[in-house]
Amino acid sequence: MYKKLFIPGPTHVREEILQAQAVPMIGHRAKEYSDLQALVTEKLQKMLYTKSRVYLFASSSTGVMEGSIRQASEKKILSTICGAFSKRWHQITMANGIPCGKIEVPMGQAITPDLVDKALSGGEYDAVTLVMNETSTGVMNPVKDIAERIHDKYPDVLILIDAVSCMCGAKIEFDAWGLDVCLAGVQKCFALPAGLTVCAVSDRARERGKKIPNRGFYFAWDVMDKKYEKHQTPATPAISLIQALNKQMDDILAKGLENRWERHMQMASYVQEWAREKFRLYSNERYLSPTVTNVENTRGISVTTLNEELGKRGAMISNGYGDLKEKCFRIAHMGDLTIDDMKWLIAQINEILGL
């Protein structure tokens, strides 16, 4: 039976978007393809409020995280850890043998400008990694404020943002905030099938990349730039997904970006209110995510059984991440889900649990 996905990726994909992929293949050196990429890029730049370059990679998000790490630093990279996905940046950095350090806050807490400021004050770092929306805990870090502090005091430090579970679901002003790399796979808030990652890159990050000898090839900004102005990619792009992305961005822009951000906040408020009443919110109230809510399992229910019952009714939520399995459960409210979807889901949960 088909289950509607209320998990933090992949998310529910509308039928029209699935269908948008089912068009005849075009050559990636043909004018038709260049026209498609030019259109998509312009729409993505609108969504990210940026004039910077936006690249498309046939890869999941983690691939582009690794590519970004390899061309970010001539000194040392600081990773800021507040859960499983922010930790991934650090794991990738170490696995590539790049000098690095980390700061860490307990699960459910956020990274703050003061913490980052203190860690950078020694002057050893020239790049920082951050997760904007920590999917494992349901926390949204104050990226704008952190970036502002970095720009004020550490002008040479590049700011690398994993926005995988919030890009296209929450406002990200890439240029105004002064971000350097901001990436997201399209299987989350974009509500597309998996396999494509969008990544905005600042001019100064592109310049930095060129100075790093072992920056890799597939994800290297300067290699991408060889085809960028022709609106092409050096390697074969995920053409069908880009067709679907083009349709999705048309729909999103027609409905209005502000309406999209607002809908996500409304869905989040609805789920948060329910969670406070029936359970407890796991994470710091000041930093609650607009796209995924982590509910603390204060009633000691079996999350696995709840999900099995939901499955019979055509829905799926997520268990707690890693160590939080059965201690928490996560309800995603991202992508093309609506407030009515959330009301329906919560009604099912209430009925199953007799709440």
Ligand X SMILES: *Cc1c(COP(=O)(O)O)cnc(C)c1O
Least gap, CB of 129 to ligand X (angstroms): 11
Least gap, CB of 5 to ligand X (angstroms): 13
21 vs 232, which CB is nearer to ligand X? Answer: 21
Question: Which of 71, 165, 248, 293 is in the footprint of ligand X by CB under 6 A?
Answer: 165
Least gap, CB of 57 to ligand X (angstroms): 11
Least gap, CB of 125 to ligand X (angstroms): 21
Decide: is 182 part of the binding site for ligand X (CB under 6 A): no
Decide: is 80 part of the binding site for ligand X (CB under 6 A): no
Dihedral over Cα of 337, 340, 341, 343: its sign: positive
Nearest in space to 70 (alpha carbons), one of 102, 103, 92: 92
The three-class DSSP label of residue 145 is helix
Nearest in space to 26 (alpha carbons), one of 243, 185, 285: 243
52 vs 129, which CB is nearer to ligand X? Answer: 129
261, burial (CB in 10 Å: exposed 0-12, middle 13-18, buried 19+): middle
**Residues near 260 by Cβ (< 8 Å), separated by ≥ 6?**
168, 169, 252
Decide: is 109 part of the binding site for ligand X (CB under 6 A): no
CA distance 195 to 198: 10
Least gap, CB of 8 to ligand X (angstroms): 6
Decide: is 164 part of the binding site for ligand X (CB under 6 A): yes
Question: Which of 62, 240, 246, 284 is in the footprint of ligand X by CB under 6 A?
Answer: 62
Q: Which two tokens stand for residue 325?
A: 């399995």
Decide: is 228 part of the binding site for ligand X (CB under 6 A): no
Nearest in space to 12 (alpha carbons), one of 238, 321, 332, 310: 332
Q: What is the DSSP string of 247-313?
A: HHHHHHHHH-HHHHHHHHHHHHHHHHHHHHHHSEE-S-GGGB-SSEEEEE-TT---HHHHHHHHHHT
Question: Which of 50, 71, 93, 135 is in the footprint of ligand X by CB under 6 A?
Answer: 135
Nearest in space to 246 (alpha carbons), one of 40, 58, 89, 66: 40
Least gap, CB of 131 to ligand X (angstroms): 5
Nearest in space to 89 (alpha carbons), one of 111, 122, 118: 111
How many chain residues bind ligand X (CB under 6 A)? 12
Question: Which of 56, 108, 157, 162 is in the footprint of ligand X by CB under 6 A?
Answer: 162
Question: Which of 60, 91, 266, 284 is in the footprint of ligand X by CB under 6 A?
Answer: 60
63 vs 101, which CB is nearer to ligand X? Answer: 63
139 vs 271, which CB is nearer to ligand X? Answer: 139
* Residue ranges binding ligand X (CB under 6 A): 8-9, 60-62, 85, 131, 135, 162, 164-165, 185
